[in-house]
A and B are shown apart, each in its own frame.
Chain A
Amino acid sequence: MITRRKLIQGAAALGGLAAGVREPALIARALAASEAAQGRILVAFELSGGNDGLNSVVPYGDDTYYKLRPEIGLRPEKLLKIDDHWGFNPGMAGMHKLWKDGQLAIFHGCGYERPSFSHFTSMAYWHTASPNRGDEYGWFGRLADHMAPEPQPNLLVNIDTTQSLAVKSRVHTPVVFDEPERFQRRTLLQEKNVIERVNTAPTGNASLDFLNSVSHSANEASALVRQAWANYKTPVDYGVLPAQFPKVAACIEAGLPAQLYYLAFRNNAFDTHVQQPNLHRRLLTYAADAVHGFVRDMERLGMADRVSVLMFSEFGRRAQENTNLGTDHGTANVMFLAGKGVKGGHYGEPCDLTTLDDTDNLIHTTDFRRVYATAIDGWLGLGVADKVLKGQFERFPVYA
């Protein structure tokens, strides 16, 4: 029989009464529990909708570019110059700064065989690192499974309104949240013991088992994340629309043991079929400022040596502009790795603009999984890229 006294004591023990005492202790415990806290961190940042790589990293030294894009091709004088051939979209000042600091790797011609032009299919291929086949689990989820074969709370974080296929894991329940302030079960004191009790034994109902495990994970993570966000204050400018990067910084500052963070620029924003130029520039500004701000913030926190950011999109866009001042779905694209540990520069073979495939698209030169492998083995130093990616992919010498 539960008495009121026991209930109150129970709630106090769980921290309901003295939040200020409770949460740092929880963080400390989580820290101590995880050797991974000393490890390196990988942040994946997805530009959903199919970012136009040709108008992001512009081959202004190639006349063919302007022939393919007489209306929306970006004139050389408008670009943020990289060298005498390449220039960034004028919106990408943040990435330009990282480039000048030698902290940005550009990977050219990334794609896969028999490309899909469907956002959803192609994104699923990127999420699972399994083109033309798919997988039940995402590549980030499989990576987590290799990092920790037993369930480990708060290893894998996905900051978004819904969970990405990329983080779907066989072993781990990813921490998925959007707004830290709202990541809190509001509970009256007397309810606390009953409401927080989660049945973790198998029930024979697979959906219920799933709900129970997510509920358990929610209880584990929500206090940590909220406390991290509440304590976080930064002087660093992340730009107008910082995606979810400040939240990642907050979690890192608070010592959350997560090593894998997955973020997305949402809702197919980069799907610029119509009236592309201003919109695309604006989107790139948001993305580039956010990444730049994040790298600077990591420097501020003394964490710059431990964090790399991977940027990609599900496909590039058609080489030739369409008749609506936009571009249709395409194939090969640029990818980026950013961070202090990165050896900045060009990697991979740029696509030949004069030789398009039979759908008028760029022919990819670099399997995108080579960049994943670079992050897994080169950055995280795990030596499990072959297993995670279910194949051998040559790394780029991006990390010394």
Chain B
Amino acid sequence: MRKLTGVAIWMVLVLGWTGPYAAGNTPKQRLEPLPAAEWDRSKAKHLLERAGFGGTPAEVNRLAAMSLADAVAYLVRFDGVPNVTLPSFEHSGIFDAGLDPFPPSRPATTKLAEETGEALGIKVKAGGNRPLQPIVNKFFYWLRASRLETDRVAQWWAERMLTSPRPLEEKMALFWHGHFATNEDKVRDYRKMHKQVELFQRDGLGNFRTLLINVAQDPAMLAFLDAGVNVKGSPNENFAREIMELFTMGVDNYTEQDIREAARAFTGWNFTGLDFNFDAGKHDDGGKNILGHIGNFDGVQTIDLILQHEATPRFIATKLYRFFVQDSIDAELQTELGKRFKDNNYDITALLEILFSSREFYAGHVIGQRIKGPVELLISTYRKLGLTNLPGAPDFNLVTGSLGQRLLHPPTVAGWSQGRAWITPSLLIERGNFALDLAFPDIEFIPQDRYPIYPSGPEIRAVQQRLRDGQDMLSATRPVDMAASMDTDMMATSNRVDRQEAFNTRYGSFRGWQMAIQRVKPIPRDLATLDLTRMVVRAELATSAEVIDYFTARFLTVPIDGTTRQNLVELFTLELGSDDVLASSTVLEEPLRLLLHLILSRPEYHLG
């Protein structure tokens, strides 16, 4: 039967097709633990790949030396994992009280300033031209600074994914970030994004009810789904719809009426600063009919009604299965997993333990079939290389972004589509280009946390250049595409009388960038510390063929075909100028890096 994947599978789930059944086995049998005799190194490698981000041969060996139960307990419950405290996020210190609450837009900010004489903690200037300029500058400052600081949060999180001895904690945080997808573009406050990541790290392996309530009361989520405008007498359906459709039950398990009634139950929920705030005056405590239950439900009671619904445990357990095991899942197994999840009182760890121990998880058609998402691809690459620091170049956020997964900027509230959706011809090429930049650093790399490139970079840079050329404010802030004609008669315009205006938006945009980079700490730009020669020497590899086999085993889950292997051996030998690897140890590094690039460019590399 044709294998279904990606969005199609999602359609299947939504629309209730039943996919291919694993032949002859009941769901109960498929979820039984793998017999001890079948546990071996290749299965340990598979487990580390899925329940973590993969690892070095030594890490695989350590896991393989344990029993299956111990290995699962090590990775899922962290039994026997050294208790290290991971570094917490180091704030640059870009926030001040005047920024809270942050108005919804630039026009709203200047309107507030005009009406009250003050905004963002800054008073309108008493006189002179552009009396609102400092306020506009600060508005753009925060937009830019929060975005840059959010990149630092993502960098910090990625560093934890790379270095944590409890990788599943971070992988679950990544899963929940895709599930409860919130985007800084709308939230516009890195502090809320950071707080949400910490929530996922803390609660991601705990109880789903606790997690769900905490997310529903999380300031980033409340801001993202317009909680502020969901008030008594004027309910906004945004959050109520998404909690049912995307966060718990999936479509077709509730009605539009349920959404409208649930929206009323969530009225009055909002945030103040970084805290959840319930405004009883804005809450509609009237009677409601939600999912067939009648009562004066509030938000938490509504969540409990949703959790009682049979669709919820099935929906969540199925999504976890698809993330950790495989894309396709039949209806019987969905039901069984939902039942187990509910029986375990929504304990996420318990469900994952069942999955990672199961025969199903170690089936031949499951191993090496999962297409990695961009974040996993980078982290697992670094882990397999044995890196202990996240490289600053290539830039983690730029690379994962160009591959379709920029942390803290998911494309929509539905998060990222998994599986085959990660791969297009162009994205496959981009993945290879990342491997090249890793093996052979790009000397033209420009850190974009200092140098403005996207989205308004050219304009910002042009404003600075023209101001420093002595142009007046009006000329300097002309749109870039008009600049060519402008600059020819620059001398004529530079002495022109300044226009009277309340503020200049383009100047604010430029000045905001300047102020942002004064405060936001730079991301360290250390390159990956690769010493492939040492890797080969320590593994005592003597011939080209041994090097190829070692590298493919270390970096790939799926073996390469014979012709490709032979091509690699020949090319490597040619580049090395010899087949005697040990005798060539002083000239090994460059051919090895070439080899690394080639292996990381193979289609096989994206599977785990």
Contact = CB atoms under 8 A, between A and B. Distances in A.
A182 B428 contact: no
B245 A199 contact: no
Interface residues on A, range: 35 or more
Contacts of A188: 594, 597
B425 A177 contact: yes
A136 B603 contact: no
B594 A218 contact: no
A193 B404 contact: no
B426 A268 contact: no
Nearest to A160: B424
Contacts of A187: 436
A1 B8 CA distance: 44
Interface string A191-226: 101110111000101111011101101100110000
Nearest to B432: A185
A215 B237 contact: no
A214 B428 contact: yes
A128 B404 CA distance: 23
Interface string B243-265: 00110000100001001000000
A199 B421 contact: no
Given A117-B256, A205-B607, A267 B429 contact: no
B256 A359 contact: yes
Contacts of B14: 121, 124, 134
B236 A205 contact: no
A161 interface: yes
Contact of A197 (B3, B7, B12, B567): B567
A121 B251 contact: yes
Interface stretch (A21-29, A94-102, A322-330): A322-330
B237 A211 contact: no
A120 B414 contact: yes
Nearest to B604: A208
Given A194-B568, A214-B424, A273-B226, A186 B433 contact: yes
Interface string B507-531: 0000000000000000000000000
B241 interface: yes
A182 B229 CA distance: 42
Contacts of B427: 161-162, 176
A400 interface: no
A163 B432 contact: no
A215 B601 CA distance: 10
A133 B252 CA distance: 12
B607 A211 contact: yes
Contacts of A121: 14, 245, 251
Contacts of B564: 194, 197, 199
Interface string A144-184: 00000000000000100111010010000111111100111
B436 A194 contact: no
Nearest to B259: A117
B412 interface: yes
B15 A211 contact: no
A221 B404 contact: no
B90 interface: no
A120 B250 CA distance: 11
A186 B436 contact: yes
Interface in A226-263: none
- The winner among B3, B422, B426, B571 for most chain A CB atoms within 10 A is B426
Contact of A195 (B229, B563, B598): B598
B424 A208 contact: no
A267 B603 contact: no
A198 B567 CA distance: 12
A205 B368 contact: yes
B207 interface: no
Contact of A211 (B234, B371, B412, B598): B371
Nearest to B15: A134
B426 A218 contact: yes
- The winner among B11, B105, B238, B423 for most chain A CB atoms within 10 A is B11
Nearest to B238: A273
A38 interface: no
A194 B591 CA distance: 14
A176 B369 contact: no
B417 interface: yes
A208 B603 contact: yes
Interface residues on B, range: 35 or more
A118 interface: yes
Contacts of A165: 6-8, 11
A98 to B, nearest CB: 24
B92 to A, nearest CB: 28
A68 B564 CA distance: 66
A118 B241 contact: yes
A33 interface: no
Contacts of B226: 273-274, 324
Contacts of A214: 423-425, 428, 603
B558 A208 contact: yes
B424 A177 contact: yes
A116 interface: yes
Contacts of B432: 185-186, 195
Contacts of B433: 182, 184-186
Contacts of B237: 328-329
Interface in B422-445: 422-430, 432-433, 436
Interface in A84-134: 116-121, 124, 128, 132-134
Given A173-B425, A218-B429, A191 B571 contact: yes
A131 to B, nearest CB: 11
A392 interface: no
A214 B431 CA distance: 13
Contacts of B238: 273
A323 B575 CA distance: 69
Given A215-B603, A324-B229, A116 B251 contact: yes
A59 B212 CA distance: 43
A9 interface: no
Interface string B267-310: 00000000000000000000000000000000000000000000
Contacts of B3: 206
A75 interface: no
A390 interface: no
A240 to B, nearest CB: 10
Contacts of A194: 564, 567-568, 571, 598
B118 to A, nearest CB: 22
Given A2-B570, A135-B11, A197-B567, A190 B371 contact: no
Contacts of B423: 210-211, 214
Given A136-B4, A273-B238, A163 B424 contact: yes
A162 B427 CA distance: 8
B404 A4 contact: no
Interface in A45-61: none
Contact of B404 (A118, A162, A210, A215): A162
Contacts of A328: 236-237
Contacts of B598: 191, 194-195
Interface string B1-30: 011111110111011000000000000000
A290 B384 CA distance: 46
B425 A124 contact: no
A323 B234 contact: yes
Contacts of A179: 426
6 contacts: A7-B571, A124-B14, A162-B417, A207-B371, A268-B412, A324-B234
Interface of A: 1-4, 7, 116-121, 124, 128, 132-137, 158, 161-163, 165, 168, 173-179, 182-188, 190-191, 193-195, 197-199, 203, 205-208, 210-212, 214-215, 217-218, 221-222, 266-268, 273-275, 322-324, 328-329, 359
8 smallest beta-carbon distances between A and B, as pairs:
A176-B424, A218-B425, A177-B426, A211-B603, A323-B234, A134-B11, A165-B7, A134-B15
Given A205-B368, A268-B413, 18 more contacts: A3-B574, A117-B241, A124-B7, A133-B15, A162-B404, A162-B422, A163-B424, A165-B11, A168-B6, A183-B429, A194-B564, A207-B420, A208-B607, A210-B5, A211-B371, A215-B428, A274-B229, A324-B236
